[in-house]
Structure 1
């Protein structure tokens, strides 16, 4: 595999540390953990530095190192959506659309809650029916015995 696969987003003058970070990100969380363990084995401050960097950069707790950049872009896009554009008509439209989407989300959350409650009630009713059936069958068995 060529280095172009995981360094396409890097500037041309990126240093070796930046390239190493991109390589480790491309390989995934396992590569970061292996590098940290090797750092501890050969020279413990290097392993400690890897651990500190992984915690500081949130690589330790993210699902995958590869999604880190996309998550950051999503946050940046969300922040850009909050800023006013300078066009009052567009900002009013955006505000109304966001308000409508929020109310639809709340309605959907309420719908899901009602579904969960209905499912819970159905399961509970089934449990109580089964329990009553067992109690009746036990009563009938003791009466026939």
Structure 2
């Protein structure tokens, strides 16, 4: 997911305009947009938690459905299948850990970008305030 989208969970001109438009058209739309602006950054975490829970539920269901047919009558095949299933479970765990690490990395990058943008804003604001102070402090000479 790219983070350069205009409609991201932040106070951008596009999201503010959509919120106002939503309130004017149908107030629940405006309220939904306000909730997205305020809590949208938590949606990724919520979505990944829900996906993880659903995956866990599905895995437990799959394990319980495989339990009755533990033996096919061919011992070699059963051993191979159990080994492969264990290997696949281990690979899935590794992929889940890598996905969590990547999600954390993306959150860290977003935080760093936001911090940089904020520091730039504060520096620009301070510079404009200093200009305004210098502009007012020059005495006027009538002549």
Scaled by the length of structure 1, the TM-score of the pair is: 0.44
